[in-house]
Structure 1
Amino acid sequence: MRYELKRLQKSLKKTFIYITDDLDNAFALADKMAIFQHGTMHQFDTPRNIYETPETYFVASYIGNMNFFYARILNSIDGHYKVELDDHITVNITGYNTYDSDRNILYAIRPERMKLSNTPETENQNITKGKIIQKDYQAEYTQYYVQLEYGKIIVVAELNYNLLLNNALSNFFEVGESVYIKWSVLAGDLVYA
């Protein structure tokens, strides 16, 4: 059906308005998307930008899984921010927006953008430490629930195919194992709460 709708729209050279809560169809069919909640539009952008750089908590949480941290900007220079998360972790991020200091902000990062490791080397990455408390094998990926040192629980999702390609079967972590959680300075976004 998606193929037929796109073909029809292109052949008619008309704008289609497709209203759905089916995210798979929305992402596949849309050139632009509008995300509404209770009649208020939260974001209007391309599907890629809505997924990659959500602007509000609602958009970020509605479009896929996300880890959220309360955020406080410590300093910023030319789009590079030093941010304190949950009053416990200091991270560096690169942002594309400016943020109103009078509004509450959250740091949002998708589970697939975080990686688990046994070693603390960073190479321009953010890092924190935690312990795996649950592991869910879900065919194409494994979802790990990790309790950070200060108690917060986050989710990290790793593609099983990548682990197999890299001959990294030993990188399947186990419940109870202490791990480092790493992610790029580009991996997360600040969003308005």
Structure 2
Amino acid sequence: VNKPAVLLLDEPLAALDKKLREETQFELMDLQQNLGLTFVVVTHDQEEAMTMADRIAIIDKGEVMQVATPAEVYEAPGSRFVAGFVGNVNMFDGKIAAGEAGSASIDAGNGITIRTENAGNAAAGTSVTFAIRPEKIKVSSTKPAGAVNAIEGEVYDIAYLGDMTVYHVRLDDGQVVRASTMNAARLTEDPLTWNDRAWVSFRPDAGVVLTR
């Protein structure tokens, strides 16, 4: 019986339906742990990669863009490409207006200033992209008291997915922000609906600043 050190699995679950694919992902993870082998899984399914992998390699046109844990790839992407490729993300282009010790203000144009605690070593005047995931953004009908980052817009689209609701909020400059909210309560007494004015807000440590 062959006992290879590395086992290559090329799209092993591609032909399965969603429910069976999810169940088989965990079975493969258990099998890998029991056998003590290294599995190299080739997949175009991001959810599959995030579920099964200890480390993920993001490849673009034959070039390895980033190798990291699933959490690092998602929460700390190394570039715009990786941020946009893995999961959903909102991006604001701008320039560092001022800052020190990792904290900075970003002038995103059209009167939008974003304050962040994750600016790294980016100096004033540097062109950057501020990337933030939808689940890090809150949507409300009124401006949250004490919010450091809050931008007003209009509810453009809503998708109720059972466990969460996804909002698309069109800002006054035309950019659409995607926000996802977990439905912790069974019913909301006064839910936001289409064409409502709304505020999107987020913490200064919620996003990441990208310089490439």
TM interval, shorter chain, is 0.7 to 0.9
Of the three residues 200, 203, 211, the one matched with 1:181 is 200
Instruction: Tell me which moved more, 61-70 or 95-104.
Output: 95-104
- Structure 2: how far apart are the matches of 1:102 and 1:36? 30
Alignment-derived partner of residue 120 in structure 1: 143
Alignment-derived partner of residue 71 in structure 1: 94
Contiguous gaps of at least 5 residues in structure 2: 1-23
* Residue pair 2:94, 2:107 contacting (<8 A) in 1 also: yes
TM-score scaled by length of structure 1: 0.86
Residue 168 of structure 1, CA deviation: 4.2
Instruction: Tell me which moved more, 111-120 or 11-20.
Output: 11-20
CA deviation digits over 1:82-128, x for unaligned, max 9? 11124531111111743477974211111221111222234353111
Residue 192 of structure 1, CA deviation: 3.6
Residue 18 of structure 1, CA deviation: 1.5
SS in 2 for 1:2: helix
Matched, 1:44 2:77: no
Matched, 1:107 2:127: no
CA deviation digits over 1:14-41, x for unaligned, max 9? 3322221111221111111111111111
SS in 1 for 2:42: coil
Larger RCO, structures 1/2 (Cα 8 Å, 6+ apart): 1
Matched, 1:82 2:74: no
Contiguous gaps of at least 5 residues in structure 1: none
Alignment-derived partner of residue 190 in structure 1: 209
- Following superposition of structure 1 onto structure 2, how do residues 1-193 of structure 1 map, counting pairs within 5 Å? 1-95=24-118, 97-99=120-122, 104-159=127-182, 161-162=183-184, 164=185, 168-170=188-190, 172-193=191-212
* Residue pair 2:58, 2:82 contacting (<8 A) in 1 also: yes
SS in 2 for 1:185: coil
Number of equivalent positions: 189
Larger Rg: 2
Residue 11 of structure 1, CA deviation: 3.0
Instruction: Tell me which moved more, 65-74 or 86-95.
Output: 86-95
* Residue pair 2:139, 2:199 contacting (<8 A) in 1 also: yes
SS in 1 for 2:93: strand
CA deviation digits over 1:111-149, x for unaligned, max 9? 221111222234353111111122222322222221212
* Structure 1 consecutive aligned stretches of length 4 or more whose deviation exceeds 6 Å: 100-103
TM-score scaled by length of structure 2: 0.79
- Structure 1: how far apart are the matches of 2:145 and 2:101? 23
State the one-letter code of the partner of 2:116.
I
RMSD over aligned CA atoms reads: 2.3
In the superposition, relative to structure 1, how do residues 29 and 140 fare at CA in structure 2: closer, same or farther (>3 Å)?
same
